[in-house]
Chains A and B, each alone.
Chain A
């Protein structure tokens, strides 16, 4: 399978705990995106990387959120001191920016977070 993979698929945690999600993009893709999706809503942009550089962050990404993409490969999204409002599906997507870029984002199946 050469699609975008996310781990874990489900995470249940208690309020105040830290959680980390991992995303492995399609190997030749240089762009990686994180979105958040809540029930009945469309995906909301959080941040994106081109290679290892984090180029844009949404205002939704509070100080408790941090994302990294070391060496321009996989990415991690960490949420510190989780709150019940953080409960959502966290989607990762990747794309190839450059020659032949179609603008298509390839999404993973998401990591569902439940904060009790």
Chain B
């Protein structure tokens, strides 16, 4: 099972701030990369599935980019809101949905 690295481990921002975090993965044998949002006491919910190098996907204020050659994906949140507080997980390619440790985001109002 491949190692996945997500950074930072946690992040505290003020409401209205924009933020981003990283998922790093081995670039060989790429297949697809998943991003999920996991709110406390709930189940993880899918945000994006990215398959092509250079992919950029957007859902509301959240967007993600993918670089398969260098082995990383960025998740961006524009104008963070308290309801964005959650753990953001990525599952890199070929890993049968093995998740990284996640980035814990806390947005203060």
Q: Do chains A and B stick together as partners?
A: no
Q: List residues of B whose CB falls within 8 A of some A CB.
A: none
Q: List residues of A whose CB falls within 8 A of some B CB.
A: none
